[in-house]
Amino acid sequence: MGRLIVVSNRVAKPTETKGSAGGLAVAIFGALKDTGGVWFGWSGEVVSEAVAHAGPTLVEEGTVTFATVGLVRRDYDQYYRGFSNATLWPVFHYRNDLAAYERDDYAGYRRVNAWLAHKLVKLLAPDDIIWVHDYHLIPFADALRREGIGNRIGFFLHTPFPAPQVLLNVPPHEELIKSLCCYDVVGFQTDTDRGAFHDYLVRHAHGTVSEQGEIEAFGRRLRTDVYRIGVFPDEIAREAERNESRQHVLELKQSLEGRELVMSVDRLDYSKGLVERFKAFERLLENAPQWRGNVTLVQIAPPTRADVESYQEIRHNLEYEAGRINGRFSGLDYTPIRYLNQRYARSQLMSLFRESQVGFVTPLRDGMNLVAKEYVAAQNPEDPGVLVLSEFAGAAAELCAAVLVNPHDIAGMAEALERALAMPLAERRQRHEVNMAALRKNDLGTWRDRFLADLRGEPYG
Ligand SMILES: O=P(O)(O)OC[C@H]1O[C@H](O[C@H]2O[C@H](CO)[C@@H](O)[C@H](O)[C@H]2O)[C@H](O)[C@@H](O)[C@@H]1O
Ligand SMILES: O=c1ccn([C@@H]2O[C@H](COP(=O)(O)OP(=O)(O)O)[C@@H](O)[C@H]2O)c(=O)[nH]1
């Protein structure tokens, strides 16, 4: 069997593939180890021309090579900050109002894809299979094909794929989707995303799609399927239990003085619905006075993509809302919203989830939302908390025993919180059991192995 080559904009550090590190890195590293392979992408650093051109930097970990390159300032601005995160990210999350398009940024996006592909070519062998991740790298297979690479290449989109009418707002949509058709397998998080891609091909590209997802478009044949990304639920459960009495949990518990805890964790991104969520929590305190002084929302929100303008705005709005709501409902010994602008280790988060009565996960749009899955997995099955989840998170297709909400309906979310906080133990247990079964049925290993079997053209299982 040929080696596996994983390509993503962010590459896990070798240290992140061990123990309690992020599940995605652990799962991908596991697959890389099985066949030997390479994990290739951006180092996360902006560097000088000389350093960028000298790359990639190679770090060996057994049979796996981590190969990373730095980006020069102009490439970072046009490829990452510009076309990826100021055009594609908002449009793919149905926020055309926040999308900006610059022709030069798109040229930079294609140029960096071509440059990265050229760097990878030197590391490839003829029987390698190549698995590319996410919207930063849509033209990557096209660029490899132009370098004469005929290997099997697959693509997995972690974000939503927008309905064609929304996608048409990206001026070079046709060229972009034509490039996407250079892959052999294209994977999506949900049926809706896959359906939107098929719709685009049929309505706007004279493509044909068979019932099995075999596609002919732009003179290429490829296949699509839905591969819902998961977690390893039993590992998370063990980790959350193991850390139950660690210092950070005890400190939080003590500071709550018996109050109920609602937990939310998101990158500080406008797609996560944070402002609407704060307003829903305010509405709960407004409508249900018995909860004033008796429930605390802890929102962990590490900053992300802080040099993109729309991210500066969301941060500003959120700070305003937190201050306003806290000013309205705080007491001398009570602050309703604890808003923490910093990153916590994943292992710490899992034990905080276990300590809370409600997980409040309400993105306006989200490819999957792993936090929702982690929240369920981290619960004590004897006394589980309740997940309140947006119907627009990919995770809602599987976690059907969560309390589902529309994140635009502030009153509806406040009612859902009230219901979750008052939910009897028997109902909480039953919902938890159903959600846990869904997580076990489709864990992170299943996501990975199904995709790789399809890419290799082998039967799964
Ligand atoms: O690399 P950054 O710009 O700092 O952003 C972090 C990642 O955000 C996005 O995550 C997505 O993938 C998750 C796993 O499949 C999914 O649950 C979530 O819904 C997505 O938003 C982005 O797609 C990644 O490429 C970024 O690395
Ligand atoms: O302070 C933080 C915030 C988030 N996460 C992790 O980052 C991932 C976020 O993934 P998700 O799919 O929820 O959203 P994304 O940020 O990828 O859009 C989850 O594994 C979280 O546990 C973390 O380790 N520390």
Residue 320 belongs to a domain: yes
pLDDT score recorded for residue 19: 57
Is the domain of 276 the same as that of 423? Answer: yes
Q: Work out the mean pLDDT of the chain and round it to a whole number.
A: 96
Q: What is the DSSP letter of 331?
A: B
Do both 100 and 243 map to the same domain?
Answer: no
Same domain, yes or no, for 287 and 427?
A: yes
Residues 224 and 237 in one domain: no
ipTM above 0.85, yes or no: yes
Same domain, 194 and 295: no
Provide the pLDDT confidence category of residue 409 given band limits of 50, 70 and 90: very high
Tell me the pLDDT tens digit for each residue of 145-194. 999 999 999 999 999 999 999 999 999 999 999 999 999 999 999 999 99
Percentage above 70 pLDDT, the chain: 99
Distance 157 CA to ligand 1 centre (A): 10
Residues 180 and 269 placed together within one structural domain of the fold: no
Instruction: Tell me the C-alpha distance between 203 and 85, whole Å.
Output: 27
Here the tokens at position 424 are 């009897």
Domain interval for residue 215: 4-230+444-456
Residues 215 and 265 grouped into a single domain: no
Question: Average pLDDT for residues 304-323, to the nearest whole number?
Answer: 95
Looking at the structure, do residues 10 and 67 belong to the same domain, yes or no?
yes
Together in a domain, 332 and 254: yes
Active-site positions read 158, 366
249 and 378 within one domain = yes
Among 134, 243, 264, 267, which is best to mutate for testing ligand 2, by the most ligand atoms less than 8 A from CB?
A: 267
Q: Give the nearest ligand 2 atom to 229 CA.
A: 12
Q: How does pLDDT run across 237-277, given as a tens digit for each residue?
A: 999 999 888 999 999 999 999 999 999 999 999 999 999 99
**Closest listed residue to residue 410, CA positions, set 295, 313, 325:** 325
Residue 119 pLDDT > 80? yes
18 contact partners, CB below 8 Å, separation of at least 6: 26
CATH of the domain at 318: 3.40.50.2000
Give the model's confidence band at 14: pLDDT under 50 very low, under 70 low, under 90 confident, else very high: confident
Q: What is the 150 CA–ligand 2 centroid distance (Å)? A: 35
Tokens of 46: 């902006």
- Asked whether the whole model's pTM tops 0.90, one would answer yes
- Residue 461 in any domain: the answer is no
State residue 443's pLDDT score.
95
- Please tell me whether residues 45 and 17 are part of one structural domain: yes
Question: What's the confidence (pLDDT) of residue 1?
Answer: 81
**Cβ neighbours of residue 269 closer than 8 Å, sequence gap 6 or more:** 304, 305, 311, 314
* pLDDT value at residue 91: 98
Look at the chain and report how many structural domains it folds into. 2
Let me know if residue 128 belongs to a domain: yes
The pLDDT, as a whole number, for residue 154 is 98
Decide if pLDDT at 430 tops 60: yes
Question: What pLDDT is stored for residue 211 in this prediction?
Answer: 85
Can you give the pLDDT at residue 22? 66
Overall average pLDDT of the 121-128 stretch? 96
Quick check: is 47 in a domain? yes
424 and 448 share one domain: no
